[in-house]
Structure 1
Amino acid sequence: MRPPTKKPVPVVDEPRPEKIARADRPPAEGFVVVVDGHFKSEFDTAEAAEAAGRTLKSTHPILQIGIYDAATKVRTLLT
């Protein structure tokens, strides 16, 4: 018969990040690539978000991809 094993105690060396990115809430600033209605990648400029969205659209044309502007709260669909 084996002795009971002890479970290791998790050690937390780093504090948790203060800002936790959530995919179900729109960001407060910047631009976000929206894939099939879900927020994915955040960018500082609209051009960077659109370039990333167009790259994704070229590799996966069936996806519905748009850009969300957090300042105006407007979604723009890429075609």
Structure 2
Amino acid sequence: MRTPTKKPVRATEEPEPKTPRADRPPSEGFVVVVDGHFKSEFETAEAAESAGHELKSTYPMLKIEIYDAATRVRTLLSSEA
């Protein structure tokens, strides 16, 4: 006869792990949006724009936007550096 295996029990005081979700916009900072998908988060708009321009120079066919979480506005990145 086999003994049943026990599942680990999570303590009620232990909070659920918080991981960022890719399908929800962040609440702070700036995000590079590539073809409608949130990709990299940055503290400043300049850092996000720099990363966006680097991507755009490598892959000019991509639609790249910078999302400002504070104002909830997406700005299309122009192809000029």
Moved over 3 A (4+): none
CA RMSD between the two structures: 1.2
- The equivalences for 1:48-63 within 5 A come to 48-63=47-62
In the TM superposition, what whole-angstrom CA distance separates every residue of 1:20-76 from its partner, at most 9, and x where no partner exists? 111110000000000000000000000000000000000000000010000000000
Identity of aligned residues (%): 76
- The equivalences for 1:24-39 within 5 A come to 24-39=23-38
- Structure 2 length normalisation: TM-score? 0.75
Query: Aligned residue for 2:43?
Result: 44
Aligned residues: 63
Secondary structure in 1 aligned to 2:46? Answer: helix
- Code of the aligned partner of 2:47: A
Q: Distance in 2 between matches of 1:41 and 1:74?
A: 16
Q: Distance in 2 between matches of 1:26 and 1:67?
A: 12
Query: Aligned residue for 1:64?
Result: 63
Q: Distance in 2 between matches of 1:31 and 1:46?
A: 6
Q: Which runs of 5+ in 1 are unaligned?
A: 1-16
Secondary structure in 2 aligned to 1:42? Answer: strand
Q: Which runs of 5+ in 2 are unaligned?
A: 1-15
- Structure 1 length normalisation: TM-score? 0.76
